[in-house]
Structure 1
C-alpha cells in the first residue's frame, strides 16, 4: 500500500476531532482540560523500527500544548494511551502515520491566569477529603453532567450577550448614544430595571454588569424590548414569532441551568440550533 505521508486536513482539525471523540465517549472532564490547547505532529522514521507497525508507514508523535494548570492532571498513562488510540483512529489509513505517543507541553503562546488562592484552597480541601466521602458528595456522573451543562451554558451566554450588543447597536444607530431614553420600555420592566441597578450599586463586592442598561435585563426581557420596539427590528427578523419563540425557549433552558437542573439532549440540540440561527440572522442584517 502506498502512503501520502501528509494529513488531508490542518492540525487544528485533528484537535477538533479529538475533542468531539472525547465527548462522544463521555470523557467530558478530559475534553474540558484540552479546550483551548494547540496540537503538533512530528513525523519520525519507519514505524516498524519504533515498536512495530505497518510496512512503509512512518512513526508519528503528537504533542498537545496545554494550559500549565492542567498539565499535571493530563500526565497520566491512561490518558496518554486513550489519546494515542484516538489520534491513530482519526488519521486516515492512507496517510501512513502510526501514532506512537501523545505527550503534553506548556503552551507559552498564551497568557494564562496561574493559581490563585481559591484554586489552592480547593486543592487543599480535596486533599483533606477521603476518596470514599468525595465519591458520595461529588460522584462521577455529577462531574460529567457538570461538564455537559457547561458547554450548553457557553452557547446560551454567547447568544444572549450577542443579542444584547446587537440590540444596542440597532438602537444607537436609530436614536444615538442616549437611546434608552427614547425606546419603548414597559413600565413594569422599567421598575425591574431600576431595582436591579439599585441592588447592584448597593452590593459593591459583586462584579459590575456593564455600563449599558441592557446588561441588567434578562434573556426574556430582551424579547420584550424587541417586541415593544418592533418597528425598529422588523427588518432584522422575518417575524416577531421567529425571534421571540426562540428567545423564550432558550430562556427557559437558561432557567433550568440556573437552578442546577439537567438539560436533556433534545433541549441541548435546540439551543445549538437556535444559537446558529440567531447569530446568522443578526450578522446578515448587519452586513446588509
Structure 2
C-alpha cells in the first residue's frame, strides 16, 4: 500500500473526527451549523415521531459515536485486507499462517448463525464478521507486514481491546457514559498515533 493511499485514509478519518466535533458543538450549544445533510428528512415520518423526544435525542447523540465506530472498523478491515492481499494474494484469509484458526472458526460460526436465522448475509467477505479483538490477532500474527505502518504491537493490541469493549454499548443501543465518550475519542486518536 502506498503512502498516498494511507494519507487519503487518514484525511478521510480526520474529516469524520471534525464532523463529530461539529455535531458535539451543535448539541452542547443548541445551535445549527448546517454542515450536513438534513438527516431528519430521511427518517420514517410515519413512525419515527411516535418515539419519545428523549429517546430520539439520545439516538441522535449516539449516532455520532456509531458513525465514528463504523468508519474506524471498516477502515481497519480495508487496511488489513489490502495489506494481506498484497502479501499473500486473494486467498490470504484461508491461510492459517496469516489468519489464526480461532479467528477463522469464530467467523465461520457467525456466518453459520446468520444463515441459520434466515436473514441476509451481511457480506461475502469473511473479514466483515470479525471483531476488533480478532482484527488485532490478525495484525499481531502478521507483524512483519504491519510493523511498517504501526509503531507498537502492544499499542495496537491495547487500542483494539479498548475499542472492542466500547463497541458493546454502541452496538446494543445503550448510552455511552461521558467518560466512555472521552475514551472513544482518545482511542481513535491513539489508533492514528500508532501510525505515526
- TM-score (normalizing by structure 1): 0.52
Helix, strand or coil at the partner of 1:174 = helix
Q: CA deviation at 1:16?
A: 9.8
Count of paired positions: 177
Structure 2 residue 187 is matched with structure 1 residue 274: yes
Superposed, 1:138-157 pairs within 5 Å as: 138=52, 140=54, 142-157=55-70
Instruction: Measure the CA separation in 2 of the matches of 1:151 and 1:251.
Output: 17
Match of 1:122 among 47, 51, 63: 47
Aligned 8 A contact 2:92 2:98 in 1: no
Q: Paired residue for 2:107?
A: 193
Q: CA deviation at 1:122?
A: 0.9
Structure 2 residue 26 is matched with structure 1 residue 22: yes
Aligned 8 A contact 2:85 2:92 in 1: yes
Q: Paired residue for 1:45?
A: none
Match of 1:161 among 74, 83, 90: 74
**Change beyond 3 A, Cα 1:268–1:20:** closer
**Change beyond 3 A, Cα 1:18–1:279:** closer
Instruction: Measure the CA separation in 2 of the matches of 1:216 and 1:16.
Output: 26
1:65-107 CA distances to partner (integer Å, 9 max, x unpaired)? x46x63xxxxxxxxxxxxxxxxxxxxxxxxxxxxxxxxxxxxx
Superposed, 1:247-262 pairs within 5 Å as: 247-262=160-175
Structure 1 residues not aligned, in runs of 5+: 1-14, 38-65, 71-113, 127-133
Question: What's the RMSD between the two structures over aligned residues?
Answer: 3.2
Structure 2 residues not aligned, in runs of 5+: 1-18
> In proportion to residue count, which structure has more helix?
2
Superposed, 1:54-133 pairs within 5 Å as: 66=38, 70=41, 119=44, 121-122=46-47, 126=50
Q: CA deviation at 1:215?
A: 0.4
Helix, strand or coil at the partner of 2:166 = helix
Question: Greater RCO between the two (CA within 8 Å, min separation 6)?
Answer: 2
> In proportion to residue count, which structure has more strand?
1
